[in-house]
Amino acid sequence: MNESRPPILRIRDLHKWYDDLHILRGLSCDLRAGEKVAIIGPSGSGKSTLLRLLMTLESPDSGEIEVDGQAMWSTTPAGRTVAAGEDVLRRIRAKLGMVFQHFHLFPHLTVLRNITAAPQIVKGIARDAAERRAGELLEMVGLADKANAYPAQLSGGQKQRVAIARALAMDPSVMLFDEVTSALDPELVGEVQDVLRQLAHQAAMTMLIVTHEMQFAREIADHVMFFDAGTIVEQGAPEQIFSAPKEDRTREFLQRVIDR
């Protein structure tokens, strides 16, 4: 039924090199709007690189990326890979939100200002409207009482929940999560996962979640991609990937992480 609509994210034959390291090796995939996708795979396999390319923090060496039908990177008839204009890129980027492993909260701003900064500065939203929205988001992530705290006064789990609220304040339709619980003490992982679960209930929200928590991936995702050496080795429904992986590399990887 969704096949008639263009995918919200369309990636074709994406290549990325760092000097002579071939990090992404011809990656292709489609994401439908509202889909919750978990990306798993060994570290160094290019998961973060993919998210950073989507966020235009880096440029691909070749390949195509389309967001919601708009080309971000495309191939000319002559075979060259070119970026869309700065305007288009900015408009596309505004549809994406990203949460980082190490939070990257702005240390000089309060929690509230961390959340309202971009809506006010980038979108020109009035201060009280931005603050009202920030209040709702803080409520949602359970930190309404921390609005005036500085990041230094928060625990890791709280920082990450603020970072999620900050990204959501820009009303993205796709959220990218890059190992958002990996830098947390084990007892703080749950509170951040709870926020992600809550988000996953929103049907319209597309989520791309890089994670090392297999149990969580299985629970939250309706589609799982297994990355290795810069390509998608295997993808499918969580049940299939985790219970009956087809590829040897998937099986080996799952064996290794579950043994740990």
Ligand X SMILES: Nc1ncnc2c1ncn2[C@@H]1O[C@H](COP(=O)(O)OP(=O)(O)O)[C@@H](O)[C@H]1O
Residues 76 and 64: their CA atoms lie apart, in Å, by 10
* Complex with ligand X: residue 141 or 214, whichever CB lies closer: 214
HSE toward the beta carbon, residue 168, CA cutoff 13 A: 24
The yes or no reply on residue 132 touching another protein (CB under 8 A) is no
The yes or no reply on residue 43 touching ligand X (CB under 6 A) is yes
- In the complex, least distance from residue 258 CB atom to ligand X, rounded to whole angstroms: 19
Which among 23-31, 41-49, 117-125, 233-241 is the span making contact with Mg ion, rule CB under 5 A? 41-49
Residues 19-48 that bind another protein (CB under 8 A): none
Provide the pairing of β-strand 62-67 with 70-75.
antiparallel
Q: Of these, 10, 36, 47, 161, which contacts ligand X (CB under 6 A)?
A: 47
Residue 29 CB partners (closer than 8 Å, separation 6+): 9, 11, 225, 232, 235
Residues 252 and 202: their CA atoms lie apart, in Å, by 34
Residues 66-125 that bind another protein (CB under 8 A): 90, 93-94, 96-98, 100, 102, 104-108, 110, 117-118, 121-122
- In the complex, least distance from residue 178 CB atom to ligand X, rounded to whole angstroms: 7
Q: Residue 49 binds which one of another protein, ligand X, Mg ion, none, with CB within 5 to 8 A depending on kind?
A: ligand X
- In the complex, least distance from residue 211 CB atom to ligand X, rounded to whole angstroms: 11
* Complex with another protein: residue 117 or 140, whichever CB lies closer: 117
Q: Of these, 27, 31, 48, 141, which contacts ligand X (CB under 6 A)?
A: 48
